[in-house]
Amino acid sequence: MKFFVDTADVAEIRSLADTGLLDGVTTNPSLIAKSGRDMKEVIAEICDITPGPVSAEVTATDFEGMLAEGRYLRKIAANVCVKVPLTEAGLKTCKALSAEGTPVNVTLCFSAAQALLAAKAGATFISPFVGRLDDIAQDGMLLIADIVQIYRNYPALTTEVLVASIRHPVHLVQSAKLGAHVATLPPAVIRSLMKHPLTDKGLDAFLADWKKTGQSIL
């Protein structure tokens, strides 16, 4: 399973990329706004940090506007993946950009039918938002299960399921059990995956016992 980080915070991305565990990055207009920085500069910097796909989202809502923005964003770096919303214009843009060889992430997916359309439009990634479904008392994981099953039924569909709006480690584990290809995680969730109180407790005990031996490895 590939791990993307869902942020436009360059320092966080650099630090997580240093672990060697990062496969890509997703951003959205809200995350760019939170960074307080120029979008094109931020995307260029992120693309320099990681060779993996970096999703940069269009903000036009019509086909011609999305296509022009997508082509512009794609020129920033070879690993830019253009993100488009799951609307009629977004699907049309996805089809056109994909035909040009540009990877496309179709975002704001909330139904299996939408995910099927994105795959037919040639999306590289489909981004179902599990947390936002949970927020309105709908089980986001049921959507992941449906999409994974539907895509498996049609091996010609090569779109990868990129689980988005992940809020906690359980979302990640459930996504992995269902066979989702990618998870995009907030930095804090990635860091929380590395933590377990029994790991800390066990390490403290090992180090205390090791100290008693008076030995050193090097």
Token output for 190: 């990635």
Determine if 92 is a binding residue for ligand E4P (CB under 6 A).
no
Give the range of 111-119, 129-137, 146-154, 199-207 binding ligand E4P by CB under 6 A.
Answer: 129-137
CB of 83 to ligand E4P, least distance (A): 7
50 binds ligand E4P (CB under 6 A): no
Q: Which one of the listed residues 2, 75, 83, 201 is annotated catalytic?
A: 83
Clarify whether 201 is annotated catalytic. no
**Cα–Cα separations (whole angstroms), residue 104 to 36, 66, 98:** 25, 12, 7
Quick check: 93 binds ligand E4P (CB under 6 A)?
Answer: no
Burial class (CB in 10 A: 0-12, 13-18, 19+), 8: buried
Of residues 66 and 153, the one with the C-beta less far from ligand E4P: 66
CB of 153 to ligand E4P, least distance (A): 25
| Other residues' Cβ atoms within 10 Å of the Cβ of residue 213 | 7
Rounded Cα distance between 162 and 126, Å, is 6
Sign of CA dihedral 143, 148, 153, 155: positive
Q: Print the binding letters for residues 8-47 with ligand E4P: x by CB under 6 A, - otherwise.
A: ------------------x-x-------------------
- C-beta separation of 47 from 75 below 8 A: no
Which sequence positions are flagged as catalytic? 83
Binding site for ligand E4P (CB under 6 A): 6, 26, 28, 107, 127, 129, 131-132, 164-165, 184
